[in-house]
Amino acid sequence: MNIKNSLIASALMAIACISCKNDKTENWMDHSVDVASQQLLATAEKMDGTGVLPRSIWTVYPLDFVERQTERDRKTFADSLVLPADSLVNKMHTINIYDWTSGFFPGSLWYAYELTGNEDLRKYAASYTNMLAPLRDFKRTHDIGFMVNCSFGNALRLAPNDTIQPILVSTADNLCSRFDERIGCIRSWDFGRWNFPVIIDNMMNLDLLFNAWHLTGNKKYYDIAIKHAETTMKHHFRKDFTSFHVVSYNNDGTVEEQCTHQGKNDASAWARGQAWAVYGYTRCYRESKDKKFLDQAINVANMIMSRVKTEDCIPYWDYDAPVTDETPRDASAAAVTASAFLELCSYAPDGKKYSDYAEKILRSLSSESYLAKPGENMGFVLMHSTGSLPNDSEIDTPLNYADYYYLEALVRYKELKK
């Protein structure tokens, strides 16, 4: 071969390599959607007619493991352990409609339908969403936003009908009934030692109120959501923009206690809590256009990027956990963060760094290290999430809300790339 032909051949090989690289870049997304759709469809078919929904896989870890990870004596958490019967370990954890996670599986089906156009996914999404209709009268939880907005909220976007709006508005009214004007917050839990506990997770339920505001034009929903966000911003955050998990208030609105229920300790940065925070304040800025909420979201986002030290950007279950070979990751925290960043990037002045970070998370979650193989992982999409380690609950296991926010992030990523 002469020099000229050799150069031409080299150039053609280079073009081919670039083409292969581009194909590979696009194929990770296609592969992820394909796997997720297969897993969700198989699970929907398997559970059809059972009256229950998938939440996770039951796990139990030795208490000395929990002691090492929390660096606490087991006497400090023994009363809050959530241990399944031996017969349930390594089996699917199913739930009824009143579990706080009941909206995530129907919501995941809606997102998979949005990504694929598969009519079987739409059919099952509608069926599992309709299962939740009795929640219209359920008032005993702040998590009604998760339960109804993720299911009926997505149904309203993708398959609207006249029955959906009344359910969303009624459940928004039920959420408003948990708001205390003296405190300026929506009450989270009805259990525990606290007088009026508010958890950072509650920022995620405000979207139901924003939806009700748009549907009715009644500003009370907006006002309550904004007041809750402002009060939470005042009392939940430390100077470095990490968040406490729980803040309990006295009846006069003063702070009773700042602590944790699911993190390593009261002063630590529980990974999913930080993700809830950046997601919630990004949403508040979208609805209000109040710069203080954008600044808060950006500050929390920058904190997350500085604190997460893993190469693949999937955090350990708590930013302050002792890092050893046994320290579990939390894919759910990563998925929530990725979804939040893919919205934040459209508002922040230097938005590209957030979209780049979100893409890195999604590529990691879409790798064989976290994405299940079809037919495995008991039908769940992602592996390696952590629910509540100090309670020995759902450690290094799939979680339905990890799948939900992963799919939501894939939808947002796809829209961004258009």
Helix (H) / strand (E) containing 322: none
pTM value is: 0.94
* Residues 132, 136: Cα–Cα separation, whole Å: 8
Count of the separate structural domains present in the chain: 1
Catalytic residue among 23, 86, 180, 201: 201
pLDDT class for 391, splitting at 50, 70, 90?
A: very high
Please report the pLDDT score of residue 26 as a whole number.
Answer: 60
CA 273 to chain centre: 10
Q: At what angle do helices 331-344 and 400-417 cross, to 10 degrees?
A: 30
**346 falls within a domain:** yes
Domain with 201, as residue range(s), is 31-417
Q: Is there a catalytic annotation at residue 330?
A: no
Positive or negative, the CA dihedral 41, 46, 51, 54 is negative
Mean pLDDT of 15-41: 74
Q: Is the pLDDT of residue 19 over 60?
A: no
**258 falls within a domain:** yes
**25 falls within a domain:** no
**17 falls within a domain:** no
Q: Is there a catalytic annotation at residue 201?
A: yes
Residues whose CB falls within 8 Å of the CB of residue 283, separated by 6 or more in sequence, listed in order: 203, 206, 207, 210, 343
Helix (H) / strand (E) containing 387: none
Q: Sheet of 197-199: strands edge to edge?
A: 197-199, 246-249, 255-259
**296 falls within a domain:** yes
| CATH assignment of the domain containing 229 | 1.50.10.10
**52 falls within a domain:** yes
pLDDT class for 299, splitting at 50, 70, 90?
A: very high
3-class SS of residue 93: strand
**3 falls within a domain:** no
Catalytic residue among 30, 48, 143, 320: 143
